[in-house]
Amino acid sequence: MGRVRDSLAILKKRKVMCMKIAVTKEQQQTWQDPFLYLSQPIYNDIYRHLGCLLCFEEPVPQALRESFEKSAPFPLSHDTIWSDSLLYVGTGNWLEADLRIAYNESICETLRERDCATVCNYLDKRECALDPFDRIDLLFSQFDIQPTPEEKKLFSEDFHNWLLSLHAQVPISFVYTSDKMQTQSFDEWLQRSIQEVPQRLFPRLLSLWNSQELKKNHTDEMLPPIADKASQGMLNIFLEQQTSLPQDVRDALVGVVNAIIGTLEGHHTKIWSEGFLNDLAALEDDNYKRIKTRKIIA
């Protein structure tokens, strides 16, 4: 029940070098977004956890970090990890419940009045065989757990405004979310960002993974695996939208993957990087093209 207690407490308070890829004047003129936004798609309109990794162009001063955290939308206020230029924020495990708590007044008031100890006793006596995740589901089954379109829209707007506020104080390079914000503006932003990945994402990932930041300059040992997972996600999003790539972009992709491998030697990194490089090598194969059916933009 720690997850529920945390929610209620918050409610009460409120070395690889990579070939440079040229950016044409036309690309410079048409690039209008403040920074890259990349995201995994939402499968079957259901998501349980939302993780968000922000990469700034420069180290974030200590004096600003607390205000960045406190100004985050409520659903992203549960997990926070910093390094010099990276900020990870996450929902915990029940994004749907957080959206309902944050943007539905009747549910919010009901939970404010509910005594956590009573809830714990209720769950223990009625469904003691359930694991903790199912017990939380049982608690929120008293309400309609699925957020309304309006609640999703409000969260997307709050998220967007929060990002712009941070960017005005310290420039952001890219933002990655484990699920896509459910508004058309984010769909369009994601599509534009995919087109800019070689010119704008590759150099930043290279500098990040070739630095000491993910080796020792972080506040939590979980940050390197999170950054690894986010890098994997962003590179896959880009590759899955391609049917062919020029050699300089291929070389850049390999350079980024090798930089990640050079920092992390874990089992997960080895598996995904091998699969990714195999997919890159097979990109020109006709059979491979025919099976590439995944859609990032609904």
Sign of torsion over alpha carbons 76, 77, 83, 87: positive
**Residue-level pLDDT at 263:** 87
Would you give the distance in Å from CA 106 to the centre of its chain?
Answer: 29
Sign of torsion over alpha carbons 147, 151, 156, 160: negative
Q: Return all residues near 201 (Cβ < 8 A) that are at least 6 apart.
A: 36, 38, 174, 234, 238
Asked if 18 contacts 206 with a C-beta cutoff of 8 angstroms, the reply is yes
d(CA 22, CA 31): 14
d(CA 64, CA 169): 9
pTM, two decimal places: 0.77
* Residue position matching structure tokens 């699925």: 146
Helix (H) or strand (E) holding 37: strand 36-39
Q: Return all residues near 247 (Cβ < 8 A) that are at least 6 apart.
A: none
- Label residues 264-278 b or e (16+ Cβ within 10 Å = b): beeeebeebbeebee
**Residue-level pLDDT at 58:** 96
* Pairing of β 86-90 and β 172-177: unpaired
Q: Return all residues near 83 (Cβ < 8 A) that are at least 6 apart.
A: 213, 214, 217, 218, 219, 223
**Tokens found for residue 141:** 């089954």
* Pairing of β 51-56 and β 86-90: antiparallel
CA distances from 167 to 16, 19, 56, 170, 212 (A): 29, 28, 8, 5, 23
Q: Tell me whether residue 141 is exposed, middle or buried, using C-beta atoms within 10 angstroms of its C-beta: 0 to 12, 13 to 18, 19 or more.
A: exposed
First to last CA, the chain: 36
Asked if 153 contacts 99 with a C-beta cutoff of 8 angstroms, the reply is no
**Tokens found for residue 184:** 């058309």
**Tokens found for residue 298:** 């609904």
pLDDT per residue as tens, the chain (298 positions): 344 334 434 333 332 223 333 434 444 434 579 999 999 876 555 556 889 999 999 999 999 999 999 999 988 988 899 999 999 999 865 777 778 778 877 666 665 555 444 445 544 544 444 444 454 555 555 555 678 888 889 999 999 999 999 999 999 999 999 888 878 889 899 999 999 999 999 999 999 999 988 887 777 888 999 999 999 999 999 999 888 899 999 999 999 999 999 888 776 888 899 999 999 988 866 555 544 444 444 4
